Each structure stands twice: as structure tokens, then as C-alpha cells.
Amino acid sequence: MTGHFVTLEGGEGAGKSTQARKLGEWLREQGEEVVETREPGGTPGADAIRALILDPDTPLSALSEAYLFAAARADHVENVIAPAIGDGKWVVCDRFIDSSLTYQGAAGGLGVERVRAINADAIGDHMPDLTILLATDVDTGTRRAAQRDGEQDDRFSVRDAQFHEKVAQAFAELAETEPDRFAVIDASQPIDDVAERIRATVRERLL
Ligand code: TYD
């Protein structure tokens, strides 16, 4: 019995965590067992690495950043994602390898293929079955992210609009090159409409 691995990706303020939660709830209503998780993080070790990578006061090169994300991801895959999929569960993950390919690879300047290589051993054969790309324009995303209560600025949210434009462009290019894995959904629509489009995509592709 193998489960399903769904990731949600997109820039800041695209609504990934809200949509991940809604998708998880809906899958449970369908009688599925679901593990909801997020990156960076998802295990105690990966959460410790998260605190380090997101701290804007710790200078890190783009390359060390990429390795730290990959290290956190290796722990997460080994201890949470792979076992859940092996047990036939659904894994719904808020960000995964495509965030590294876009943030560190494209916008960070390392190049997508270099970052893919760094991540290859960390994820093994655990590429997502489906990746929902929540597409928003950078202005809307930044505004929404700024409105969230109690959120600290992190290393990435403080970067400029040009960085976030590169991230958005790179996500769009990845989606174009892997249309079987990606589904692009317009995240500027009302939350419930976006949630319905996500459910329709999951029904069509995986159920
Ligand atoms: P988080 O607070 O989880 O942001 P969001 O709500 O936007 O998902 O912080 C995660 C930040 O880390 C976000 O700016 C994206 C960045 N990131 C990378 O640069 N590379 C990665 O591989 C991952 C998983 C996240």
C-alpha cells in the first residue's frame, strides 16, 4: 500500500498553509489518513535547523543555506514523509524541494540544477506526486504576508521585490517543465474558490 504525496508551493502570502489545512480536512472527510506537515521543519531536528536558517541575523552563503534546507529535508523525509507514504497515508506538505529550487537556485543565484543535485540524496525517490502551485502577483503576496499577525521578519521575507519576482518566475518555469506533477492555481481568488479548485485537481489526478 503506498500513499500520496502532495506539496503546496508559491511565494510569500500565497495562502499555502491555509490551503494545506483545508485540503487535509477534506481528505480526512473522504476517509483518508493524512499527515500535514511543512518545510523547513516537520521534525525536531529540522525545526532546529529552521530556526537557524530563518534567522536574519546569522549570515549564511547561498550555498550553505541550500545545504541546510537539504539537511532539514533529509530528516523530514526519513522520519515523517517516507514512513507515512509507506503506511498508505496522504502527506500534505507546505513547501518542499521546489522552494529550494526557486529561492536558493533561481533567486539565490546557485542555479536550479545545482540545487536539484544537492537535494537528490536528501529526498531519494520521494518526489511529490502532485505539486499545487498557488500563483499570486508579488505585490498581493507581500501585502498579505505583512498583514499576518505576530509574524517575525525572516531571512527571505525581508528580501526585495526583485528577489520575489525571480522566485515567482522560477516557480512558473518549473510548472511548465513538469506539467504532470504541477497544477497551477490562481491564488488571488477567494479562499473557498481556491480550496475547491485544489480539491478538484486532487480528485482528478489522484483519487
Ligand atoms: P515560512 O515562515 O514557513 O514562510 P511561508 O509562510 O512563506 O512558507 O518561512 C519559510 C521561508 O523559507 C520562506 O521565505 C521560503 C523559504 N524557503 C527557502 O528559501 N527554501 C526552502 O527550501 C524552503 C522550504 C523555504
Average confidence (pLDDT) per 10 residues, the chain, 207 residues? 95 95 98 98 98 94 97 98 98 98 97 98 98 92 81 79 96 98 97 98 97
Query: Closest Cα partner for 95 from 153, 50, 52, 155?
Result: 50
Residue with the smallest CA separation from ligand 1 atom 19 is: 103
The contacts of residue 188 (CB under 8 Å, 6+ apart) are 136, 137, 140
In 15-111, where does DSSP find H-type helix? 16-29, 44-54, 62-76, 82-86, 97-99
Please tell me the predicted confidence (pLDDT) of residue 149: 65
The sign of the dihedral angle between the CA atoms of 41, 46, 51, 53 is negative
CB 62, CB 104: distance < 8 Å = yes
Please tell me the predicted confidence (pLDDT) of residue 147: 84
Please tell me the predicted confidence (pLDDT) of residue 16: 97
CB 73, CB 122: distance < 8 Å = yes
Residue with the smallest CA separation from ligand 1 atom 5 is: 12
CB 111, CB 103: distance < 8 Å = no
What's the order of all strands across the beta sheet hosting 4-9? 34-38, 90-94, 4-9, 130-135, 182-186
**Grid cell in block for residue 142:** 507581500
Query: Closest Cα partner for 134 from 98, 107, 81?
Result: 98
Distance 39 CA to ligand 1 centre (A): 7
CB 130, CB 42: distance < 8 Å = no
CA distance 206 to 41: 26
Please tell me the predicted confidence (pLDDT) of residue 144: 86
**Grid cell in block for residue 152:** 517575525
Radius of gyration of the chain (CA): 16
Total-model pTM: 0.96
Residue with the smallest CA separation from ligand 1 atom 20 is: 100
Residues within a 6 A CB radius of ligand 1 = 12, 16, 39-40, 54, 69, 95, 99-100, 103-104, 154, 156-157
